[in-house]
Amino acid sequence: MKPSAAIKAFLAITFWGASFVATKVALREVSPLTVIVLRFAMGLMALALVVAAQQEFTLPQRGDHLDRRVAGESA
């Protein structure tokens, strides 16, 4: 395993574990729905930053949804 892969794995495990603890603490203060909405919002922001940094975002073409639907139904 490359050192960079090990560091990325360690960071993923650390954030995942911290997320569990933070969720437990947050649930003492706010409703579960609020926690869910905040987690999805933070995830959306993180993904938006990654997409913006890569500068490769393109909207699907007109017929692409049919290809994906057929692929999903055949799985």
Q: Is 9 domain-assigned?
A: yes
Task: Select the more confidently predicted residue: 22 or 70.
Answer: 22
pLDDT digits (tens, 9 = 90+) for 52-62: 898 887 777 77
Q: Is 74 domain-assigned?
A: no
- pTM score of the predicted model: 0.58
pLDDT at residue 59, rounded to an integer: 76
Q: Is 72 domain-assigned?
A: no
Percentage of the chain beyond pLDDT 90 is: 44
pLDDT at residue 73, rounded to an integer: 61
Distance between CA 33 and CA 26 in Å, rounded? 11
Q: Is 25 domain-assigned?
A: yes
**Residue-range definition of the domain harbouring residue 20:** 3-58
The domain tally of the chain equals 1
DSSP per residue, 14-59: HHHHHHHHHHHHHHHHS-HHHHHHHHHHHHHHHHHHHHHHHT---P
